[in-house]
Amino acid sequence: MEKGAQPDFADRPPVRLFFLRSEELAYAMEARGYDPKAKRSRYRKSKWRWADTFCLLLGLAFAAAFIYVCAVQLDFFALFGVAAL
């Protein structure tokens, strides 16, 4: 190995490797804002609201309009030799 080069993980003793990995984990947890004194967050279930119903109906209306334009107005089924609706 060259002078000043960093040794591979296989060359390091297991205890030192353990401390290096734990230090990397500590830095990662700190970077993500981990606070052991903070209250744990809980998963909150979503409730179905009127806005969800509106978006669903709007999406269905757009899908129906698209199918209508493709099938009836553009005579889409004639391309496959099938009679239109």
Each residue's pLDDT tens digit, 17-35 = 788 888 899 899 888 888 8
Q: Looking at the predicted structure, is the pLDDT value of residue 74 above 80?
A: no
User: Which has more pLDDT, 68 or 5?
Assistant: 68
CA 85 to chain centre: 40
Nearest to 67 by CA among 80, 58, 76, 55: 76
Rounded to the nearest 10 degrees, how much is the dihedral formed by the CA atoms of 63, 67, 73, 77?
170
pTM summary value:
0.41
pLDDT of residue 8: 61
CB burial of 12-27 (b: ≥16 within 10 Å; e: otherwise) equals eeeeeeeeeeeeeeee
